Amino acid sequence: MNKQGKFKLSKKIQLLILVIVVSMIGINTWNKASNKTANVGSSTTIIEQVLPEIVVYKSATCTCCHKWVTHLENEGFTVQAHNREDMNNVKSSLGVIPGLASCHTAVIDGYLIEGHVPASDIKRLLTERPKNIVGLTAPGMPRFSPGMQAEGQPPRGYDVLTFDEDGNTHVFSQY
């Protein structure tokens, strides 16, 4: 205590308190970010990650597009949905090849997602980050895919493909 009856902390103790407070704020921020978890692919491994926002272009009147957006949101994605009347132009400008097209197109972290791709495949894509591909597609409108069936049902009966700028495809996931 000093002569006025007040506590006086040394510079070293003040600095130590500041370091502790800043560290606690950093740990709290990190914990909030890492609490978002993702189940990647068919694996049961949980990978902690913060999911980037996904931008979806869709028709305002397409029910399955709306259901697919809901599927993504239920799986932890933040979705920015844009209703468009010129989907063919959107697809063409983004590089979607007609034979790989579906009803909606999305962009996430530099990749295109075409059609009813399950959220787990998008999470796997973001984790693995394969080179030389444009994105993933579920061509057409697979009957038992997210958005085309009751929410929470597992996808079945179709393939999700990777595709490159030339339209070459490889199977990414089989359902």
> Per-residue DSSP letters for 150-168?
-TTPPP-S-EEEEE-TT--
pLDDT tens for each residue of the chain, 175 residues long: 556 555 565 665 555 555 565 555 544 444 444 444 444 444 434 444 589 999 999 999 999 999 999 999 999 999 999 999 999 999 999 999 889 999 999 999 999 999 999 999 999 999 999 999 999 999 999 999 999 998 888 999 999 999 999 999 999 999 9
What Cα–Cα distance (Å) separates residue 169 from each residue in 12, 73, 127, 142, 159?
Answer: 62, 27, 20, 17, 11
Q: Beta strands 105-108 and 79-83: pairing type?
A: unpaired
Predicted pLDDT at 41: 45
| Superfamily in which the 53-174 domain is placed by CATH | Glutaredoxin (3.40.30.10)
User: What DSSP assignment string belongs to 41-99?
Assistant: TT---EEE-PPPPEEEEE-TT-HHHHHHHHHHHHTT--EEEEE-S-HHHHHHHHT--GG
